[in-house]
Structure 1
Amino acid sequence: MKVEHKGHTTIIKDTESNYLQFVEKLTSQYNSFKDTNLILDITHDKSVDLTSLKNFTDLTKTHKKNKKSLVIVAANIDFNKVPSKLQVVPSILEAHDLIEMDEIERDLGF
């Protein structure tokens, strides 16, 4: 797991290609990241599919309650079939854009 801080956002990259271990590590170390927006880069793990993305649902709910964004960057996913509770994009740049839009919405009170 590689962690990079960029302004008000933390980018966490899965380097082990095992999304279940990645979710467990994130959950156990969540207090370290709870005050920043999160980008979870799981593009390295080619086995990730729609079913495996659902493992991030609890973490996403918790982060949203803290008024922060959590965006997952994944490859080879049918983005039209991703559950609405999850924010999944194909690139880090799009993740940053989505977080910016979320920040604007929160500032406006939505």
Structure 2
Amino acid sequence: MYRDFIVPDDEEVLDKIGEWPETDENGARVITCRPDDVGDVLTFSYETLSRSVRARWTKSNGEDVLDIYREGATRLTVSSASQARHILIEFHMGECAGVMEIQVSPSLSVRDRLLYV
């Protein structure tokens, strides 16, 4: 069964996590976060039509810490509370459902769960 991928508007993304989503050459929305002084960068992209997301965490020396690409996204939310800012992505893919939670400040962290329902 097809489900829509619900995403916040650009103003909400800017308001909640302090970054304006840009559009890449393929039409995906891209958010680039540099949360600390060590030079790590999180590049998060999403495309509503394909219901896909990609989270790429790169160290200051260019080395990838994490690179996740997933389809089947159903909802993307952004939040800000007590100095922490988050991107939350919900997924539903046939027999599996899950959540990816990305903390973009004050430091980067990623938690990802995908389970059978």
TM-score grouping bracket, smaller chain normalisation:
under 0.3
Structure-2-length-normalised TM-score: 0.27
Which structure has the greater CA radius of gyration? 2
| Structure-1-length-normalised TM-score | 0.28
- The structure carrying a bigger helix percent of its residues is 1
Q: Which has the higher contact order (CA 8 A, sep 6+)?
A: 1
